[in-house]
Amino acid sequence: MGAATPDVTIRGAGIFGLSIAWACLSRGARVRVIDPGGPGAGSSGGIVGALAPHVPENWNDKKAFQLDSLLMAGAFWAGVAAASGRAPGYLRSGRLQPLADDRAVALARERAGGAAALWQGRAIWEVVSAEAAGDWRPESPTGLYIRDTLTARLHPRMAGAALVAAIRAGGGEVLAEGAEAGAVVHATGAPGLDDLSRAFGKRIGTGVKGQSALFALDRRDAPQLFTEALHVVPHADGTVAIGSTSERDFDAGHTTDAQLDVLIAKARTLVPVLTDAPVVERWAGVRPRAQSRAPLLGPWPGREGHYIANGGFKIGFGMAPRVAQVMADLILDGRDAIPPGFHTATQLPAPPQ
């Protein structure tokens, strides 16, 4: 594309912005992504990368949208890898969760029926024994575990680099600075939520700090673990990520502290194989949380030709393939398939006069 005028300009080179750029480019649009901090400068440059489903019950638009996205993810990331020549670290690795007591076992078995009905036969949720779970597992008081085959993992930095390479290979631009032209998508994470709050005169969302750690331990083919609210994610590069804290009140969004020390100690207690594995990185960042906790997608009210894609709090990487699809549908074809609970029309007030 070079210096050709873009059809779509995207502000923000996090997972939403890059995925939307890739989806638009794949449909023939000229795209330009602009981010002064560079790709993955915000929370998308983290280390956890857990693509985990909601529990299969009390079904709603958010859970259905996430299911569609998780089921799309294999083909989406294979396409990115083919176009870029770079691996995004994606694997539908599944997940194990220990069951604490008889009540938890009964609830897990009930949810297995929900998964059978809701997951379209394309993934399984089941209760298994420790023997069936294998030797990569946390302790379970009951000796039983939930195993699902829908959960996947993605290496956030590898995925971001693969998207950038795919966009550039297709003639798109990823720049620190540049002029806007065409449709403009604001995918600017936590700072963007602050901008929206100022623009609309009310709190639209906020940043929530998360801290996580990376261990040097090669379990790249093993499933994820989820135990006592802790994600343990084996990555393709021979590391294991653990995370994360969730901090509404903080002074320094990108500085780790004693809360991460507690998390590391907890991980080593719950997953003893981590005991002697060295910590090779400590990470902190601020994730964008819309007031509804759902993604915030759609036109920017009162700004013709401007769109918003934000609020991927904790689920941004898992939601990205479907977010990219519905935003490309809206921007390029005028087709609005955004669920009402995600839509700017329902989440944002009328613009100030």
* Mean predicted confidence (pLDDT) in 251-267: 97
Q: What is the residue range of 306's domain? A: 8-87+155-202+292-347
Q: Is the pLDDT reported for residue 352 higher than 80?
A: no
12 with 119, same domain?
Answer: no
DSSP annotation of 52: -
The Cα–Cα gap between 310 and 320 comes to 11
Residue 263 lies in a domain: no
Q: What pLDDT, on a 0 to 100 scale, did the predictor assign at position 65?
A: 95
194 with 173, same domain?
Answer: yes
Q: Which residues contact 16 (CB under 8 A, 6 or more apart)?
A: 187, 295, 309, 310, 312, 316, 320, 323, 324
Is the separation of the CB atoms in 151 and 80 below 8 Å? no
Residue 190 lies in a domain: yes
Q: Is the pLDDT reported for residue 1 higher than 70?
A: no
Residues 68, 70, 76, 78, CA torsion sign: negative
Is the separation of the CB atoms in 240 and 273 below 8 Å? no
Q: What pLDDT, on a 0 to 100 scale, did the predictor assign at position 2?
A: 46
Residue 118 lies in a domain: yes
181 with 307, same domain?
Answer: yes
**Please, what is the Cα angle at 47 between 252 and 60, to 5 degrees?**
95
The Cα–Cα gap between 12 and 323 comes to 15
CB-neighbour burial class of residue 94 (10 A; exposed 0-12, middle 13-18, buried 19+): middle
26 with 64, same domain?
Answer: yes
145 with 12, same domain?
Answer: no
Based on C-alpha coordinates, what's the Rg of the chain? 20
CATH of the domain at 56: 3.50.50.60
Q: What pLDDT, on a 0 to 100 scale, did the predictor assign at position 3?
A: 53
Is the separation of the CB atoms in 58 and 124 below 8 Å? no
- What is the residue whose two structure tokens read 């005169």? 201
Q: What pLDDT, on a 0 to 100 scale, did the predictor assign at position 164?
A: 98
Residues 164, 166, 167, 169, CA torsion sign: positive
- Mean pLDDT, the chain, rounded, equals 95
Residue 207 lies in a domain: no
Nearest alpha-carbon partner for 207 in 316, 286, 315:
286
* Mean predicted confidence (pLDDT) in 337-351: 92
3-class SS of residue 294: coil
195 with 315, same domain?
Answer: yes
pLDDT > 70: percent of the chain: 99
Tell me the two tokens of residue 152. 């996947």
Q: Is the pLDDT reported for residue 135 higher than 90?
A: no
Residue 188 lies in a domain: yes
Q: Which residues pair with 127 in a beta bridge?
A: 146
The Cα–Cα gap between 341 and 126 comes to 30
The reported pTM is 0.96
* Mean predicted confidence (pLDDT) in 317-329: 97
- Residue 298, φ and ψ in degrees, nearest 5: 135, -170
Residue 236 lies in a domain: no
27 with 108, same domain?
Answer: no
* Mean predicted confidence (pLDDT) in 124-151: 94
Q: What pLDDT, on a 0 to 100 scale, did the predictor assign at position 351?
A: 74
99 with 120, same domain?
Answer: yes
21 with 107, same domain?
Answer: no
Is the separation of the CB atoms in 323 and 295 below 8 Å? yes
Q: Is the pLDDT reported for residue 267 higher than 50?
A: yes
Identify the band that residue 36 occupies on the pLDDT scale cut at 50, 70 and 90.
Answer: very high
Q: Is the pLDDT reported for residue 86 higher than 90?
A: yes
Identify the residue with better confidence: 166 or 314.
Answer: 166
* Mean predicted confidence (pLDDT) in 325-330: 98
Domains in the chain, number: 2
* Mean predicted confidence (pLDDT) in 134-155: 95
* Mean predicted confidence (pLDDT) in 67-86: 98
Residue 257 lies in a domain: no
Tell me: the pLDDT tens digits for 192-224? Answer: 999 999 999 999 999 999 999 999 999 999 999
Is the separation of the CB atoms in 148 and 125 below 8 Å? yes
144 with 159, same domain?
Answer: no
Q: What pLDDT, on a 0 to 100 scale, did the predictor assign at position 62?
A: 87
Tell me: the pLDDT tens digits for 145-204? Answer: 999 999 999 999 999 999 999 999 999 999 999 999 999 999 999 999 999 999 999 999
Residues 87, 92, 96, 97, CA torsion sign: positive
145 with 159, same domain?
Answer: no
3-class SS of residue 148: strand
pLDDT > 90: percent of the chain: 94
3-class SS of residue 178: coil
* Mean predicted confidence (pLDDT) in 258-274: 96
172 with 60, same domain?
Answer: yes
